[in-house]
Amino acid sequence: MRKFILVLAGIFMGNAAMAQGFSEDFGSLRNDLWHVAEYDFDHPMFDTDWKTDHATVADGLTLRLAPQAGKANGFTGGSIRRTLPTQYGRYSAIIHPAAGEGLVTGFFTYTGPAYGTRHDEIDIEFLGKDTTRLHAAWFVDGELNSRFIDLGYDAADAPRLYAFDWLPDRIRWYADGKMILEITEADGPLPHVPGMLFANLWAADHSVAIWSGKTRPDISATARLNCASFAPWTGSGFDAPRQSCDGASGTERLASASR
C-alpha cells in the first residue's frame, strides 16, 4: 500500500515542485498560482455555492458568505485553492475566522477523486458556533479522524497565527505559536498523497447541525487571511520561504492585521 501511495504521488506531482515553498500576503492573486471557485456545489454537508466575488484581496484575503434565494443551496461563499500540489512541510496562516451558528472557516490540504487520487486531507477548521475551539481533522482514503481543541481564547476576536506540520510519520497542529495536538503513525494511518492547499468560508447543511450548529437563513459573515505560507520538509527541518507567516515578516503582518 505504501508503495502504491508513493506511485500515486509521483503521478500526481509529475516531477512538480513539491519542494517549492511559498509565502502569500494576498496583495493580489496570481491566476497561475491560485484558483478562485465559481460554481454550484453539490455536497451533503454544504449549503453553499461558490462565487469568485466572495474571495477578494486587498492587503489580505477576505472570504465572504451571504444568503441567496431560488437555489438548492441557501448561501454563497468564498473558496480559493493553490494550483500546485504540495506534501510534507509546515502550512501556516494568519486567520481571523467568522463567528455564527452553522459557519465554517477552513484552511486545509485536500486531494481526492477529482484529482485522480484517493481522498487525503488535513484541516484547520473553526466552527462559528464556538470559536473558542479549533477543529483539527485528517482524512486517509476518505476515512475521517478529528479532534476539538480548546484554545483558551476566542479566535473570532482577533487574527492569530495557526499552522500544521505534515510529516511522513506525524501531524502537529499549532495555535498562536503553541503546539496543541500531535498525532503519529502509532495512532493510525496518516495522509500521504500530495494535495492542494485551500481556504474557504461556508455554511453547513442543516443535516449536520449537531456538528456545526444551525445557520440562520439571513446570516452574512466574513473571514480573513492575512498570510498563507508553506515551508517544505527537508528530512531534517523546514526549508522556510522568505517572509513566511511564522517568520519575522509574518509577525509584522500579524501586528498590522490586529490594529
Catalytic residue numbers, as ranges: 125
Q: What are phi and psi of 8, to 5 degrees?
A: -55, -45
Distance of CA 245 to the CA centre of its chain: 14
How many angstroms separate the Cα of 162 from the Cα of each of 155, 211, 214, 224, 229? Answer: 10, 22, 26, 13, 11
Report the sign of the C-alpha dihedral through residues 163, 202, 213, 118, in that order.
negative
State whether residue 26 is helix, strand or coil: coil
Residue where the block lists cell 483539527: 136
- CB-based burial, 126-141: b 16+ in 10 Å, e otherwise: bbbbbbebbbbbbbbe
Our CA angle for 85, 168, 188, nearest 5°, is: 110
CB 80 within 8 A of CB 201: no
